[in-house]
A and B are shown apart, each in its own frame.
Chain A
Amino acid sequence: MSATLRIQAISGHSGAAPGAGTQRGERVAKLIDTTTCIGCKACEVACVEWNDLSFRETVFDNTYQTMPETAWNYWNLIQFREHIHPDGTLQWLMRKDQCMHCAEPGCLLACPADGAIVQYQNGIVDFQQEYCIGCQYCVAGCPFNIPKFDQTTKKMFKCTLCTDRVSQGLEPACIKACPTGCLHFGTKEDMTALAESRATQLREHGGYEHAGVYDPQGVGGTGVIYVLHDATNPEAYGGLPGNPRVPLSVKLWKGPLKWLGNLAMIGGLLGVTMHYLRFGPKHVSPKEAERS
């Protein structure tokens, strides 16, 4: 598994990444089966403990929701929703929210700091705080609202998918702590197969006719996939976007605008140089100089 920590993509990098375009290692994935999650928050505690994160106070809002969203020192949060169906029945939806480890990460695309965000060949997208400059561009690139800023250190933080554990052949801390087995970890291929079989089971035997797998293709698929009771309505699970994409304005900024800008800047410098070679300087008119 350690070979899977070869680097595949680097943020703000002017050269090639060592493993660009290659597929030597297995891609890993975390599977979250929301249909067997009981919202116990053992994964939250395991995450805070393993990653040695500082204590964070909860925010009471009259529900079981402990805080509104993930934080710089709280990378893994159960999103709890009381979902009322059109027929008036109520369902508790619990979704473990964290970085999705997109195959095409918008944070990495937006990041200007060389090496601050890396994507490993196993699919893990990881922040390297020593290179982070705290510009928060990654926030603009992320369709899941995951990267969070720490005011004290001026650095961004998020779930690392426990790269330190995964590189040693272990599962992420949250997986290890889950008491119901709703969390699984393995290769993307295996997790997808497991998720699909569970979704089929839910459709055929569980009475959830819209059950399905959440692996959004708008960001090239993700390293975290969900089994949802109702895959047609991911928004109900605490704002999981239906069709997440790297924002168009980020793609425009990093694509056409950059080329247009480079062309304009180099063209401008060339233009004034050519103007000077052709026309040269303006002097005081000889007529006026004579008058003085």
Chain B
Amino acid sequence: MILRYTLLERAVHWLSALTYMYVLATGLAFYSPHLYWIAALLGGGPTSRYWHPWVALVFVAALAWMLRAWLADMRITAADRAWGRDMKQYIRNDDENLPPIDRFNLGQKYFFWVMLFAGLVLLATGLAMWFPPSLPLALRPLMILLHVSAALITIGAFIIHVYMGTAVVRGGFTSIIRGEVSPAWARTHHRLWYHRVTGK
């Protein structure tokens, strides 16, 4: 077996996952009256409102850690661009003739950067919403609009990420829990990474 994610990487991934799901659930409660029942499940409206920004800060901290840890692996390379041109085949599960790629594929890299930049927008607008007097009156509603827009973009990315990681790429979910993948899995999905880490 090959180590794909260290214990720390896995722990931070799940920290970001859990904190994201909490701010997602409480955020959705504030997004629509039809989803306000989520706030009741999570301890009530005031409790949800109180913890939403604090938990969000933990999520942003996890994002920052992942940026530092994975920046080198997340740069988009020529191999990614070649793979991206054939992404249609990947979507259709015709994976046999896809160009080889390194540790992450282009979809994973897009997900990472979408979450990072949307996270920055959510952080900036969220801080403004947390402390409304810090902003001129006219800018406050704009902050909410941007916050909701950025959140919706992350939700789209999140749906695809969870779907790919659990349902589609078999072996992906166990790799982010126990950290290991088989050599065959590595060669199938991340051949350049396999060569790099095994030296074969």
Residues of chain A having any CB pair with chain B under 8 Å: 12-14, 110, 112-114, 131-137, 139-141, 145, 149, 154, 247, 249-250, 252-253, 257-258, 260-262, 264-265, 268-269, 272, 275-276, 279-285, 287-289, 291-292
Contact across chains for A253 and B168 when beta carbons are under 8 A apart: no
Contact across chains for A291 and B184 when beta carbons are under 8 A apart: yes
Contact across chains for B188 and A131 when beta carbons are under 8 A apart: no
Minimum distance in angstroms from A156 CB to a CB of chain B: 11
Residues on B with C-beta less than 8 A from A132 are 46
Query: What residue in chain B is nearest A287 (Cβ atoms)?
Result: B96
Number of interface residues of B (CB under 8 A): 48
Minimum distance in angstroms from B33 CB to a CB of chain A: 4
Dominant secondary structure of chain B at its interface with chain A: helix
| Stretch from B69-77, B78-86, B137-145 contacting the other chain | B137-145
Considering the chains assembled together, what is the distance between the CA atoms of A84 and B50 in angstroms? 47
Residues on A with C-beta less than 8 A from B129 are 135-136
Contact across chains for A279 and B144 when beta carbons are under 8 A apart: no
Residues on B with C-beta less than 8 A from A284 are 170-171, 182, 184-185, 188
Contact across chains for A272 and B163 when beta carbons are under 8 A apart: yes
Residues on A with C-beta less than 8 A from B48 are 133
Pick from A134, A140, A269, A291: contact of B144, CB below 8 A: A140
Residues on B with C-beta less than 8 A from A268 are 155-156, 159-160
Minimum distance in angstroms from A216 CB to a CB of chain B: 16
Contact across chains for B46 and A288 when beta carbons are under 8 A apart: no
A-B contact pairs, 27 of them (CB 8 A): A112-B30, A112-B31, A131-B45, A133-B49, A134-B46, A135-B49, A136-B129, A137-B144, A139-B132, A139-B140, A140-B140, A140-B141, A154-B46, A247-B141, A249-B142, A253-B141, A253-B148, A257-B145, A257-B148, A265-B155, A268-B155, A268-B156, A268-B159, A275-B91, A283-B170, A284-B182, A285-B96
Query: What residue in chain B is nearest A134 (Cβ atoms)?
Result: B49
Residues on A with C-beta less than 8 A from B93 are 279-280, 282
Contact across chains for B145 and A253 when beta carbons are under 8 A apart: yes
Minimum distance in angstroms from B4 CB to a CB of chain A: 14
Considering the chains assembled together, what is the distance between the CA atoms of A132 and B47 in angstroms? 11
Considering the chains assembled together, what is the distance between the CA atoms of A272 and B31 in angstroms? 23
Minimum distance in angstroms from A224 CB to a CB of chain B: 19
